[in-house]
């Protein structure tokens, strides 16, 4: 009887591990590193709204990376000398992933609720020197 239970538990474990691996493969977006869209967003926030803005930005950036396969990175940071100077490193699988991101409920919520908080916004499109080494950066964070 114990052998039979052990066999069923083992089979269940194998099925669970297998489905997790398949799910993670499904979640990965196939894209060419050369198609990536990389951007720095330079944002100045009204100091009266800084705490509220940061809370909304954290929620939006986390949801974007978690829910959108084409969003590789949205990494918010601020200048040490002036926390109202926010910078976002944004990396998308391609332009289509970026355009899709702009239509998501979490981005629309972020944009609408922070509009009055943003004093200045500059979007700077970037190009990576070495896209081949980029995957190593993210692997080291695990």
Give the 3-state secondary structure of residue 92: strand
Q: What is the mean pLDDT of residues 17-29?
A: 37
Mean pLDDT for all residues in the chain = 82
What is the C-alpha separation between 38 and 98, in angstroms, rounded?
Answer: 10
pLDDT number for residue 121: 97
Neighbours of 22 (CB within 10 A): 10
Q: What is the mean pLDDT of residues 1-22?
A: 38
Q: What is the mean pLDDT of residues 23-32?
A: 46
What is the C-alpha separation between 75 and 92, in angstroms, rounded?
Answer: 12
Whether residue 138 has pLDDT greater than 90:
no
Q: Report pLDDT digits (tens) over 74-116.
A: 999 999 999 999 999 999 999 999 999 999 999 999 999 999 9
All domains of the chain in start order, with CATH = 33-127 (3.30.70.100)
Whether residue 125 has pLDDT greater than 70:
yes
pLDDT number for residue 64: 97
Kindly list the strands in the beta sheet with 118-126, ordered across the sheet, starting from the edge strand earlier in the chain: 71-78, 85-92, 37-45, 118-126
pTM: 0.75
């Amino acid at each position: 009887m114990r052998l039979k239970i052990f066999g069923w538990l083992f089979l269940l474990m194998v099925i669970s591990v297998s489905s997790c691996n398949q799910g993670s493969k499904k979640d990965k977006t196939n894209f060419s590193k050369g198609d990536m869209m990389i951007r720095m967003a330079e944002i100045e926030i009204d100091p009266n709204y800084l705490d509220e803005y940061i809370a909304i930005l954290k929620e939006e950036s986390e949801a974007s990376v978690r829910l959108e396969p084409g969003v590789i990175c949205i990494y918010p940071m601020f200048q040490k000398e002036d926390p109202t100077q926010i910078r976002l490193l944004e990396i998308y699988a391609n332009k289509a992933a970026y355009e899709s991101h702009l239509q998501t409920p979490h981005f629309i919520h972020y944009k609408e609720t922070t509009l009055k908080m943003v004093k200045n916004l500059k979007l700077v499109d970037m190009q990576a020197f070495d896209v081949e080494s980029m995957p190593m950066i993210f692997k080291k964070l695990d």
